[in-house]
């Protein structure tokens, strides 16, 4: 069979190129928002053109909280699946739409609910007493099996004030974040071996090269990055902490930013007097930098798909029986 006869296989991550005019799409979206009584929430990691038309932008925690303030009947969640699930959990009566159902998360997927459940059973059978603490980047099914949900912004507070001091901690799914929180709180943890495909590929070699080329620049890194990278960072924090930090710093500064590349957009918006340089991911064989610092799941969100989901009323996140327990855990962890 000649190569041209082979069937074309498209990955969910195949870039979606639209020849539609972005301005026309934005007009259509505005009209559909009114028609469908909808509010758009967008994560800091989706493209800037979607963040610009959103009613709310933020990190996972802020958007989970913002979702409870929405007064319209429909929420469009431009982000990934577990985030839209959280919005549905906090708003059972609302219709929650996700522009692309394939928008998952490598971190959430590294901890499937059935494997977590069986590991918890093994620990209990060994007589170990523990509480399970989950990073918010987990599926609703996993959240329903946990005692606490944390974000990079509130993990320290929850672990120091709420988690039983007489028990061990099983931390899922991000080993790098867990290790970082152990350092900050001094509480040892059993770490689930998960990680984010985007933050995992930042290379220390690239960062050191960027530092050499930009003397005096400060390094800002997300705690999902591996420890060798965090050890050379000047500021370690989640996306909201990054925004607060650059806003508070009035002296124009050059920042090397080690997180998803679209994060540069909200940083530029809130503190345009600084210069932001995204830290590249790994080098390819040809010596060029690949686009590894872009999350392929987040990139599935496009203006055309935001329009389509509003127009067609799908894909929609449907209520699942375990959402009730996930809601209890989310509520006591994040919203009080």
Return residues touching ligand SF4 (CB under 6 A): 45, 80, 105-107, 137, 196-198, 260, 295, 297-298
**Minimum distance between the CB of residue 284 and ligand SF4, rounded to whole angstroms?**
20
Shorter beta-carbon distance to ligand SF4: residue 46 or 310: 46
Write down the least CB distance from residue 80 to ligand SF4, Å: 5
End-to-end CA distance of the chain: 62
CB of 297 to ligand SF4, least distance (A): 5
| 3-class DSSP assignment, residue 130 | strand
Q: How far is CA 165 from CA 35, 187, 218, 245, in A?
A: 52, 9, 36, 31
Nearer to ligand SF4, 271 or 298 (CB): 298
Cα 204 to Cα 90, 92, 196, 283, 286: the distances in Å are 39, 44, 16, 12, 19
- CB of residue 167 vs ligand SF4: minimum separation in angstroms? 27
Residue among 74 and 293 whose Cβ is closer to ligand SF4? 293
Q: Of 282, 174, 167, 186, nearest to 222 (Cα)? A: 174
Shortest gap between Cβ of 24 and ligand SF4 (angstroms)? 29
CB of 77 to ligand SF4, least distance (A): 12
C-beta of 243 vs 297, nearer to ligand SF4: 297
Residues 6+ apart with CB under 8 A from 325: 144
For ligand SF4, the closer CB: 25 or 175: 175
DSSP 20: S
Concatenate the DSSP letters of all residues of 240-253 into one string. Answer: HHHHHHHHH--S--
Q: DSSP string covering 141-173, please?
A: HHHTT-SEEE-TTTHHHHHHHTS-TTSEEEEES
Looking at the Cβ atoms of 105 and 149, the one nearer to ligand SF4 is: 105
Cis peptide preceding 63, ω within 30 of 0: no
Q: By the 8 A CB rule, do 194 and 107 touch? A: yes
- The minimum distance between CB 44 and ligand SF4, in angstroms, equals 10
Q: Which residue, 38 or 299, has its beta carbon nearer to ligand SF4?
A: 299
């Amino acid at each position: 069979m000649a190569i041209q006869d082979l069937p074309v296989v498209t990955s969910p991550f195949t870039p979606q190129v639209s020849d539609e005019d972005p301005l026309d799409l934005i007009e259509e979206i505005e009209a559909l928002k009114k028609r469908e009584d909808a509010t758009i929430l967008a994560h800091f990691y989706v493209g800037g053109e979607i963040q610009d038309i959103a009613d709310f932008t933020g990190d996972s925690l802020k958007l989970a909280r913002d979702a409870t303030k929405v007064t319209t009947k429909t929420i469009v969640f431009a982000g990934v699946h577990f985030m839209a699930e959280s919005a549905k959990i906090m708003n059972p009566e609302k219709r929650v739409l996700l522009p692309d159902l394939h928008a998952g998360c490598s971190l959430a997927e590294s901890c499937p609910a059935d494997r977590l459940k069986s590991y918890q059973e093994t620990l209990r059978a060994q007589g170990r007493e523990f509480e399970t603490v989950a990073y918010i980047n987990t599926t609703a099914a996993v959240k329903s099996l946990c005692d606490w949900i944390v974000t990079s912004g509130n993990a320290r507070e929850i672990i120091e004030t709420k988690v039983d001091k007489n028990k061990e901690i099983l931390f899922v799914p991000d080993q790098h974040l867990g290790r970082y929180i152990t350092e900050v709180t001094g509480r040892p943890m059993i770490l689930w071996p998960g990680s984010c495909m985007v933050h995992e590929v930042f290379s220390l070699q690239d960062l050191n090269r960027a530092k050499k080329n930009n003397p005096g620049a400060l390094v800002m890194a997300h705690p999902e990055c591996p420890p060798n990278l965090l050890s050379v960072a000047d500021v370690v924090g989640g996306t909201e902490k990054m925004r607060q930090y650059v806003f508070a710093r009035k002296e124009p500064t050059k920042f090397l930013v080690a997180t998803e590349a679209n994060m540069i957009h909200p940083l530029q918006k809130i503190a345009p007097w600084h210069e932001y340089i995204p830290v590249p991911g790994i080098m390819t064989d040809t010596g060029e930098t690949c686009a590894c610092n872009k999350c392929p799941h987040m990139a599935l969100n496009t203006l055309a798909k935001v329009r389509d989901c509003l127009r067609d009323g799908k894909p929609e996140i449907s209520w699942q029986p375990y959402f009730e327990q996930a809601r209890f855990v989310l509520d006591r962890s994040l919203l009080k």
